[in-house]
Structure 1
Amino acid sequence: MAVVLGPNRYGKAETRLVRVVRDGGVHHVKDVSVSSALSGAMEDAHLAGDNAAVLPTDTQRNTVYALARKHGVDQIEDFALLLARHYVDSQPTVHHARVEIEECLWGRIRDGEESRPPGERHSFVLSGPERRTCVVHHDRDGSTTVTSGLRDLAVLNSTGSEFFGFARDEYTTLAPTHDRVLAAAVRARWRHVSGDCDFGASYSEVRRCLLEAFAGTHSLSLQHTLYAMGRRVLETRREICEVRLAMRNKHHFLVDLTPFGLDNPNEVFYAADRPYGLIEGVVLDDDAPAARFAWE
């Protein structure tokens, strides 16, 4: 039996960075978690304990802070590209860099804050559990893939959803329904055609497409809604060539109120958090080039 070293990478995970920009009396907050992973000509670190090719993970953490100070952090995709290119260009042994960023979305507590007195222009509130995400892959030959996304986007339709005609066996107890609450926690990722994009505008528009398709689709299943959401993005945004969706079904069960002499015309529900249905799928432009790098 021959024992060999397989694919490998290493890096610094979840470097937390909060950057405050003081634009006169108005402050802006960027709150991100950055993970980097490097691979290349690093076999000797595994096989011989020779670390000459290894850029310390502490250095990767420090690079995040230093480049944030030098270049700022605007769109997370642009910052991820900056970091990935820096690692590959500065280290001859690094042939590939993967940078993942997750952003907490802080909004202003007060609308129209720019017009308020200076002492009232620095108050923020976290916009729930939703996070903006991106993953950038950059190779020594110049190949780059940018994937944007979001997670924990909670959506709910109080009607306009059905589920019937499904397969049954001896263990099936679920009753068909033609009017149900459809709620889900959405994770969406979308691949850009190129790394040259107005990522901020693209993110806002893709998110809008996802929400409009969820709200506007008379759903026959969560799978049906998932495809409609991905299709809306691809038909509307030409800079996107592939959408991956994972939808965690947040089940709402009608409560039986007959023991109390009450009816329940689809008004009182029990919301269960687990177990949950998990529906996943990919919607893509069949003419687009295949992704060179794995999404994960």
Structure 2
Amino acid sequence: MKNIKIIAIDVDGTLLNSKKELTPKVRNAILKAKSAGIKIVIATGRPLSGVEKILTELGLNDQEDQYVVCFGGGVVETTAGNVLFEKKLTYDNYLDLETISLKLGLHFHASAPDRIYTADRDIGDYTLYEANLVNLGISYRTPAEMKDIPIIKCMYVDEKDLLDQKIADHKPFAHLDDKITFTKTAPFYYEANPKGVSKGNALKFLCHKLILSSENLMAIGDEENDLSMIKLAGVGVAMGNAVPAVKEAAQRVTSDCDHDGVAEAIEKIL
């Protein structure tokens, strides 16, 4: 545990409680870890704009020697916004994904670094929720108008029961498996990233840049998109509210997000 130099922390359901709050106990534990020389890396499906308030609370914002993994691993950047790694979806990828949404009758949107785009005139409730959560505006664009827009990831967003019903059979998505990674990241989110994009691969890139190994990494998360970093890390920690697959892959299970699980995990290594 003394070899831990980086702690990578997921945001929703991990760093933040179910009310989307950063509790004083979690904040203080992170500040103590920083004081001990441990680098804190937020690893999230959100863009930088969606974590700037959190970074400010933790004293990590607007710095060239502090890092954040955004869009589920699609972007690695400094907290000052200097992009070190980025992998985008192609326009053809977008068209294929959009077509699936039409066939299945699911709300769908595409995320660019600075905006959310949807071809649904009747904008989905969870597209509005996501835009508010990550502090990005929404633009209506037809598929033809999306050709020159940089797309980092796409999301199928709908009511849990409907989404689960539609993705239970993978056949509509299977023809894209060699190009796209599909991941359930929340009860109402099914995300599509370029093949090879994951939080684990993004952190592997960052560790290499910082001349560290995965043994120097501790990762804390709760959802399927956290699995790759949990498996990569020298110490993988699952939240008490984590999905079963994450708990099975983790070396340790901490308390849930409403009982300061992140603080508990950090205090153990300190």
TM-score, normalised via structure 1 length: 0.25
Higher helix fraction: Structure 1 or Structure 2?
Answer: 2
Larger Rg: 1
Quick check: which one's strand share is greater? 1
Compare relative contact order (CA 8 Å, sep 6+) and give the higher one, 1 or 2: 2
